[in-house]
Structures are given as structure tokens and as C-alpha cells.
Amino acid sequence: MGAGLQSGVSVLAVGRSIKTQLTNRREFLLQASAASALAALGPRTLAAQQAARQAVAAKADSVIFIWLPGGIAQQDTFDPKPFTPFEPGMKGSDVLATCESIPTAVDGLKFGAGLENLASVMHHGTVLRSLSSATKFGAVHLKAQYYMLTGHLFPAGLKAPSMGSAVARTLGPREPLVPPYIYIGRDIDTSDTEKQFLAEAIGPGFYGAEYAPFMIPDATAGLATLEAAAGTTMEQVDRRLALLKKLHGLTGSRLPEAPQAERFLKSMDSARAMMDSPVKQAFNYAKDESAKTIAAYEPQIAPEELLDQKYFFGRRFGHGLLLARRLVESGARFVQVEYQYAAFKGFDTHEDGQRRMIEMKKQIDGPISQLIRDLADRGLLQRTLVVVASEFGRTVANQPKAGVEPDGFAEMQNGDELVIEEQKMYGLHGHFSSANTLLFFGGGFKPGLVYGKTAERHAMVPVENPVTLEDTHATIYRALGIAPDTAYVTEGRPFYVTKDGRGRPIDALLA
Amino acid sequence: MLAKHGTLLLAAIFALLLAPVAILAAELDSEQQLIERRTVRISELPAPPDPPQVSAAVKHPIDRFIAGKWRTLSEPPRVGLCDDATFLRRAYLDLIGVIPTLKETNRFLASKSTPAKRAALVDELLARDADYALHWTAFWEDALASQSVLEQGGVLTRGNYRQWLLDSFRANKPYDVMVAELIDPTMPGRQPERNKDVFGVDYTIGYVRNETRPVTLGTAANIGQVFLGTSMKCAACHDHFENKEWPQERFLAFAGLFATEDLEKIRCDQKSGQFIAAKFPFELPGATAALPADPVERLHTAAQLITDPANPRFAKTIVNRLWKRYFGLGLVEPVDDLREDVPASHPELLDWLAHDFLAHGCDLKHTIRLILSSSTYQLRYDPAQADLYDVANPGSPRYFRSPQLRRLTAEQVLDSVRLAASGELRPEQRTLLDGRSTALMRALGRPASRNEISTARPDDVAVVQSLELMNGGELQELLQLASVPENLARGDQRRLVDLAYRAVLSRSASPEERNAGREFLTASRDIQAGYRDLLWALVCSPEFQYLQ
């Protein structure tokens, strides 16, 4: 049984090497269904995890996934185009970028102005400019975000797990008391049905609650459930837990013999232990870090200066990155930090694009670059993969009320029909699934590399080395030592971490 | 295409509404037709197997089948009936989704245990129509992916079925009528479809959606899974890899029933140019195989075929779901994936239950009452004898010598805690009706959003959940609703402990439990805080969180 367990587990994690032995997918699936009982058992032993990773030689142990939803205008940021200043009456096709470009630490690589700090650390970074989606999401952010975070198009026929959950399940925690998948920066209050949908996109899908993200909405506010609830004390928590266990032992039924009862109590113990754990200590950055460091994670603009003073998460985001770094230092596996999404706000520029991009860049430039510097200084950058992503890029709108076009319509047009009469209409205001830029730092990615090129005029589709999302995800998984056809069985069939297990790592991106 | 469908539907409904007298005189409406047809079709079915004779003492048909299989065991099972407190808790949580009030607990436990008393309790609970409906609706909202909005961020839903479910269960509407109302546009009790404008395009929101291929296939897969207990999803894009019963053409033929025209065979994104004629996938002796071309009439026929008593999967699927709901494991597993090559653990019992269900007019309460009045349902929980389900061997034998441990749903936990702490639970306070999705609800398994159908809540344990129970504000707030009654604030605190047990666990506390509780209360800084701590320890215990 022991040997069977080992090989069964490795079928699931190191699918690729098994595939070379089997003739086709059907045999693989027959093997997988025999192993499905094992999949149903949940997380694998530490030894099995290590065995799986050695087989595919991981380059990174942890991930900090910086999620900036809304659809970042790549022309003003990471894939800059010539600056075409506002002139009333200009055509949409004349808008190539709303800011100047600046040099970076990498020869020949330019970024949009406002990203000077980030530019200075790009010798650590990889820029991928040619991610293109065959499915055009049109106006629908939710589907695009679901796609980017899970690798599957909604509806996927079942609840697709997010990348964070896939990593958590496959690699497990690095430290026993540090949850493998942590999510920073998003409110837990999901009163809005749109936010409820998005909760699924970052969730564990069919993997179940064990792989759900550990949510930390606001790094500056600590985490409520790691502290005794308001109105109670730690002493009370301990007394309650002791009473629970005592009474449970006295119950006349045979319930204590049940494995579920054991697991339930064990989980309570883990929860209690977590309240004293490194996770808790990671929050104490105000005490541990220098004022200079903390200042470097602050946004460079205050809410009062913003066009929309009510949408501001700069401080939460910056401190979230600092917390993410500290969590990785304590042994976190996958930490996603979000600049909280809201439709039509932040990066989702449907109007006032120029000004809004200036505001957003001021909030991400300092913190992201400081994170990279800190990781490099601490010798963590090599084994920590940092990803910066948005769900799609942007293009000019073809009409003043951009974003209302049916799927795909806006993608290929060049903006000739749009006449920009006022400042409000000046900017990259249309969604563009055809080209998206991602940044990677550390974790086995080739530093100083720029991969892929987009056209200089609209439609700014990739003209060199276009890549798919499944291949991009496969590359990230490869860096972590996870085979792209790693699968978990549900409803009697395997579900792969990349679509149909067909993701292929882009070797050119990896060192 | 959509407009035409809508117009036909309106025409059908108007025809029914505007000429009731003419209809009664001339023709039955779709609901009446269905009921008549059911009666006729049942009479054409073969007689169900007789429950085996086991002994004079074992009379209940379910018990006869179950005990019959026990005779094949190498040693007779050591089983006994559960005590009254256990039965009380089971019946309340199973039938109305919340624990009994203190008064109800005291009343039930005060009198001697008899079978008649238990049967009377079941009847009483089944008669609480509103509560029964609320509890059942939670399951079905998940199964239908019912959502409170028609569209979220461009993603269309299939609509909001909450009110229709509540109304149908309150009236104890026959199950086949309910299923037909979801599928058949001509059914009089049907919830009307809604129209939704999404980015300038007009969509019809209903349970059967067929405006695009993926959505049509989704409709068919959902109906197959929920009402026919059959997982056909994989066969949407290719022959099902490991279930030989479902080559792609068979699924596409089934999906064609819900489409406006025959579906093209597109295998792994490759178009074949071959169109598959719509066809009902199961042989129904005596039923017509011809399918109308008109989409509305086709759906009407599809509903008839799906709910036909001769449909081997229809009645079996629902009685199997009921069995799983009350025993924790189905007679067939997985309940959403019945297969010809995976035998039921008690095939004759399943046949008998299915036939009995049909013969009683697809009355869910009838079968529920039948199950809860069996001795099998009332057996004591015994972890040593409970069946172990092995997902790799779904056909491995089951004996039902003990119920499975079942995790309470989020709704059951929150409603019960509120009731235990505050002493009351008003209908509008039921968690089902709460539109929010809070951290505690999600930690306890209530989905944040119903984007996909689901027939089971997650029952796993996770640290996030434990943290929420331990330190979360929501549970604290609920516990703060409790206060020590004046007359028990001083004096022997063992009575207070017993009160806590009765309120939360629906049973009295043993002497050891009373002593342990009293010790704790005495050492607490104040009696109110101590009492709430005690309530916490009981609420967060496996005994409360699980149903045994």
C-alpha cells in the first residue's frame, strides 16, 4: 500500500514524466482514476511534495503575485509607446501613449514616466509584452479575471481552482503554521454579487476549504481572527478551548472515535497555534522595520489629491507588499497582493486616462520597487518569484462610452472614428484582450529580458513571440517545480492546472 | 430566434389563461396531463420487488430490505436504536434545518420513548410547512444555481428560484410537477422567464437557456446531473473517457432536446459538419420516440420523457438523494453519477423506493416520512460499524448498520446558534434569507456565489474555519444574545449547565458534564461571560457541528 501510495501520488504531480511512459491520455486517466482515492485524501506528505519538486527542479520556493486588476494601459507603463500629447479634436488613432517614456536599468528597455523607481530595479526583472488571449473579453472584467487567475474560461463546467490554491495544494506549506495561500488587500465583505463572483476566482474551487486563501484585507489593520474577538481576551480563548476539549471527552456518545471529530479538534489546535505564530509576528512591521523602509512602501500620493478621493487603496497596497515580504520570510508559499478592484476605478480607466494613470503609478511605483530591492538585499529574490499582472491591456475606445462593445468588437479597430474633444476623453479607455504585459522578478526568470513585441500603432497586437495564458501559467508553475499537467481528480476525471494539461513553459523566459 | 421563442411562450400562456373554461371542458393543461399520464404509466410498470421476510418483528419495508442484507454478514450487527435526544435533534435538523427550542426539547424528553411518539414528531415537523420549505430550499438553490441577480458583470445567470422553491415546498407540490415546471414552457405553475439586456443584447433568463452552444450544453448537463443523476458534462466535447455509456453523440442528442435546432458534432473544437438528431437517451417502453420540431413543444415532450415513471433514472435519482440526505450515503454513489456498471448497495430497495415514490404521486413528504419512520434511520451512531465510502470503489458494499456523521450546513449552524442563544428564531432571521455572504457563512461552507450547480456542501475542516469560530466577531455577537436567567444566576450552577446542554445540544447533561461545567463557571470572573464561554464550548464542539 505504501509503494502504491508513492507512485499514485507522483502520477498526479509529475504527470509529464508518467506521460512519457503511457501511450495516450486515456491510459493516464485510467491510472488517475485508480489514484483518485489518493487525490481525495488531500494534501500529500512533505516527502512526497519534495519528491515531486525534485523531479522537475524548482527554481523558486515562494510566489508574491501582485494583482493589479482593471486592465492596465500597457502604453503608459510597461510597454510604452511614443507620447502623443492631448490636442482637442485629435483622433483616437493618434493616441499612442499619454506620457513620456523613461530609460530603465536595462539598456534599450523603456517604461512609462512615473515608474522611475521600478525602472531602476528592472535589471532584476523580465518583461513579457505579448500575452494574447484568443477569447476577447470585451467589457467583461469578471470573466477575464477568472481566466487570468484560474487559467480556465468561465463557465468551466466546475469550480476551477485559482493558481494560489493549485500551488498550495501541490507544494503544500513551507512552514506548518503559515498558511500556504495568503491573500492580502481585498475586503472580505462580499455584499456585492460581483465581488462574490470574484471571490470564486481567487478561491479553491473544487479543491475545498483546505486550499482557500487566508484572507488579510488590510495589512495596516492586522488580522481580526488572529486576535481574540473584540470583547474577549486571550485568556478567555484558552479557557474556552480547554473547556471544549474537556467536555468533548465527557460526551457519552462514541463521537470522539470518529476521524471527523479528531480532525475538527486538530484544526482548532492549529488555529490556536497560529495566533502565536510567525504569521502573527509578520504583522508587527511597525516595530521591526525601520521608518525609512516603511516610508518606501507608502504611496506617493494622498487621497485628497485624487480625482476620485473615495477610491484609494495605495496605503493598504504598499503595506500589503511589505507584509507579503515578511510572510515569505516566515515561510509563506503563495501570497497574492491586490490593489482592490472596483469597476471603472483605478486602472480601469474609461475616462481621464492620463490623469488616472499618473495617480495609479504613484501608488505602485515605490512599493513594488522597494519589495524587489528588499528581496534582493536579503538574498531572497532568487528563490522568490514576483509576478505583476492585470487581466488584460488597453486600447483606444472607438466611441466615447467605451466598454459597451460586444465581445471582440473593439479589439481590432484603430480609433479612427473617435474624435477626442476634451481632456476627459484622452487616454487608453478600451479593453484589449489581444495584448497584455506581465512582469516577473526572481524565481528563475531571466533578469533583464524583454520578450515579445507589440505593434506601434493601433491595434497594438503582438507582432513578435505571442504567448498564450496556459503557456504563461506553465512557465510560472515550471519555476515552482510543478508540471503543467499536474492534475487533481474531480467528478471522476482529472482537472489540470493548465487547460487540458497542455500548457508548455516558455523556456526563453527562464534562466 | 429568441424573439420567436418568447412569442410562442407568450402565446401558449395566454391561450391557457384566457380560456380556462374552454380548457376544462375540452383539454387538460400540462400539469393535469402530467398527473394523468403518470398514473397511467405507473400501471404499465412491472411490479416492484417485495421486501424480504426477515422476522415477524421487522415490519417496515425499508428495515426488511436492510436487515435482509445483514443476513449476508459473517456476524450479525450489534445495533440499537438511538435515544430520544438523538432522535429529536436528528428529526429537527433533518426536517426543518434548526434545533428544537428549549421548550420543545423539554417536552419531548419528558415523556417515555415510544415509536408512536417519534412518528408523531415527524408528522408535526413535516406539517410545519414554512420551516420545511426553508430547509429544503437551501439544498435546491444550490442544485439549480439559483441566484438573486440575473446577471453579474456580463455573466448571465439562470434566474432566481428562491420564491418558486419556497412556494412549491410549502404547498408540497409533487416533485415531477416541479421538474416539469423548470423545463416545460406550457406548465401553468411555471415561473415566468425574465428578459435581461446585457450590453445591448436581449437575453431570456430561464432554467432552460439555449442562446449559445455552451449554454445549451450546460442546460443539458445540469438537467442530466441534478434530475437524472448522470454526469454527462465530459461528453460535451468528446466521448466520455471513462464512462462508456456516454459517447459524445448520445449527449448531444440529449442536449438537442433543449436546443432550438440539432447540434453539430464538434469534437475537441473540430467541427465535423455532422448534425446529431435530438433523441432521448433512455429507452422508455410505451413512450413515443418522436420529438416535435417546434422548440416549445419539444421542451414539453422532453419534460414528459424526463418525468416519465418508466425513465430508469428519474425516480431513482431523487429517492437516492433523499436516502443520502438522511443517511449520509446514497444507495448508489456518487449520487450525481449513476452508472450501469456500479451496482446500488441495495438494488431492490432502490427499485422499491422509486416505485413507491411514483405510486404516491411523487410526494416528497411521503418518502421522507417513510425513511424517518424506519428503524434503520433511528439506529445509534457507531463509528466502528458505519460504512466506509471509498471513492475509488463506489460499488463496495454498504450495510447501513449506523448512520454516517453529517456536518451541519452553515444555515443550520447559524440558525441553531441564534435560537439557542437568544431563545427565538423569527422566520425573517433565517440565514437562507440573508443576502449577505459573510466570513463565517463562507467558512461554514455556504457558497459566496452560485455560479455552478452543486448538490453537496463542502464538509471539510480548515484552519480558516476554526479561526473564524474561535475569534470571529459574528459568532461572538450571536453568543452575546444569551444571558443567564435570573433564577439560575446564583446557587447551584449545575442547573445552569444542564440548561446550556438542553439549549444547545438538545439533551440533558450527565453528572460529570454538570460538574465540569460548574467548575468552569465557578472559576469564571462573571457568570454571564462564563455562561457564554460554556455556550461557545458546546457550539464549537464536534457534537454540535456534526449530526450523529
- For A97-119, the pLDDT digits (tens) are 999 999 999 999 999 999 999 99
The DSSP string of B182-219 is HH-TT-TTPPPPEEEEETTEEEEESSS--SSHHHHHHH
Give Cα B294 distance to the centre of its chain: 33
- According to the model, what pLDDT value does residue A208 have? 82
What pLDDT band is residue A237 in, cutting at 50, 70 and 90? Answer: very high
Is a pLDDT exceeding 50 seen at residue B3? no
User: Do the chains contact at A25 and B241, CB–CB below 8 Å?
Assistant: yes
Q: Does B456 touch chain A (CB under 8 A)?
A: no
- Rg of chain B over all Cα atoms, to the nearest angstrom: 25
User: Do the chains contact at A231 and B476, CB–CB below 8 Å?
Assistant: yes
By C-alpha distance, the chain A residue nearest B474 is A229
- According to the model, what pLDDT value does residue A189 have? 56
| Residue corresponding to grid cell 490636442 | A87
User: Do the chains contact at A142 and B154, CB–CB below 8 Å?
Assistant: yes
Interface of A with B in 75-104 (CB under 8 A): none
| Mean pLDDT score, A431-460 | 96
Interface of A with B in 17-76 (CB under 8 A): 25-26, 29-30, 33-34, 36-37, 40
Is a pLDDT exceeding 60 seen at residue B6? no
Q: How many CB pairs under 8 A join A and B?
A: 245
Q: Does B461 touch chain A (CB under 8 A)?
A: yes
Is a pLDDT exceeding 80 seen at residue B127? yes
* pLDDT, averaged across chain A: 86
Return the C-alpha torsion angle B538, B542, B545, B548, nearest 10.
Answer: -120
- According to the model, what pLDDT value does residue B153 have? 64
Q: Does B212 touch chain A (CB under 8 A)?
A: no
Flag whether the ipTM exceeds 0.85: yes
Give Cα A46 distance to the centre of its chain: 24
B-interface mutation test, from A246, A247, A392, most B Cβ less than 10 A away: A247
B-interface mutation test, from A255, A260, A491, most B Cβ less than 10 A away: A260
- According to the model, what pLDDT value does residue A188 have? 67
Strand partners, B203: B196
A-interface mutation test, from B470, B507, B548, most A Cβ less than 10 A away: B470
User: Do the chains contact at B154 and A139, CB–CB below 8 Å?
Assistant: yes
Question: CA of A176 to nearest chain B CA: how many angstroms apart?
Answer: 12
- Please check whether residue A295 is in contact with residue A311, taking contact to mean a CB–CB distance below 8 angstroms: no
Question: CA of B183 to nearest chain A CA: how many angstroms apart?
Answer: 20
CA atoms within 13 A on the CB side of A391: 31
Each residue's pLDDT tens digit, B282-330: 888 887 778 898 999 999 999 999 999 999 899 999 999 999 999 999 9
Each residue's pLDDT tens digit, B404-430: 999 999 999 999 999 999 999 999 999
- According to the model, what pLDDT value does residue B533 have? 96
Written as nine digits, the cell of A313 is 487603496
Q: Does A141 touch chain B (CB under 8 A)?
A: yes
Name chain A contacts of B533, Cβ cutoff 8 Å.
236, 239-240, 243
pTM of the model as a whole: 0.80
- According to the model, what pLDDT value does residue A187 have? 80
Is a pLDDT exceeding 50 seen at residue B52? yes
Each residue's pLDDT tens digit, B15-32: 555 544 444 445 788 999
The SS3 assignment for B440 reads: helix
Under 8 Å CB-to-CB from A424, ≥6 apart: which residues? Answer: A351, A352
Distances from the Cα of A229 to the Cα of B464, B466, B469, B475, angstroms: 15, 13, 10, 9
Is a pLDDT exceeding 50 seen at residue B107? yes
Is a pLDDT exceeding 90 seen at residue A404? no
Is a pLDDT exceeding 60 seen at residue A37? no
| Mean pLDDT score, B151-168 | 87
Which of A38-52, A83-97, A214-228, B241-255 is predicted least confidently? A38-52
Interface of A with B in 375-414 (CB under 8 A): 404-406
